[in-house]
Amino acid sequence: MDKFTTLTGIAAPMPLVNIDTDMIIPKQFLKTIKRSGLGVSLFDEMRYDREGNEIADFVLNQPAYRDAQILIAGDNFGCGSSREHAPWALLDFGIRCVISTSFADIFFNNCFKNGILPITLPQDAVDMLMEDARKGANARMTVDLENQTVSSADGHEFRFQIDSFRKHCLLNGLDDIGLTMEKAPAIDAYEDQMAQARPWV
């Protein structure tokens, strides 16, 4: 998993509330267990018409936001089913941070396990960031995980809270496998000890 330290990038405004995981990545794309290749299907039903053509007024189809790395979203983002494909699709598109007033619990937890930083801020802060994001590609925001701040292009700075363990994992690029591998020497020592004490196992 890639480390998350400081991210400066384009923020896309998506003020819809209750964006569920089926809107993020529809069920027909859940057949794969690969984490790559899902970005093209992110928000499929909002991005494309029935013939597969891009819908011009959808935010991520607009030239200013095609390379967005931050998403400013409406309340209750990521509700619905618990599919891990939702953060996979966001990450494959290039989104590393989602900012909202609230997230569904399972989606929120899945983000951390896949290198995405979900930030919860008060409504007035999200409103200001949403307005800033509407300025387009020139309005680049900075997310500083170490200092737990979000800075808008017009100079506003907002502090956010994050669990210290999750912060450690993101800063060091540690998913569940990475955390286990940190303990590899202790695991190997235990296995050697057991092999000697119980060779018949």
Please name the residues in contact with 153: beta carbons below 8 A apart, sequence gap of 6 or more: 132, 135, 138, 139, 140, 141
Run means of pLDDT, 10 residues per run, the chain, 201 residues: 95 97 93 85 96 96 96 97 92 98 96 97 97 90 98 94 96 80 72 78 68
- pLDDT on residue 159: 98
The predicted pLDDT at position 103 comes to 98
**Domain extent listing, the chain:** 6-172
CA distance 198 to 33: 37
Whether domain 6-172 has CATH 3.20.19.10: yes
Question: Per-residue pLDDT tens for 61-111?
Answer: 999 999 999 999 999 999 998 889 999 999 999 999 999 999 999 999 999
What does pTM read for this prediction? 0.89
What is the model's pLDDT at position 182? 66
Specify the amino acid at residue 11.
A
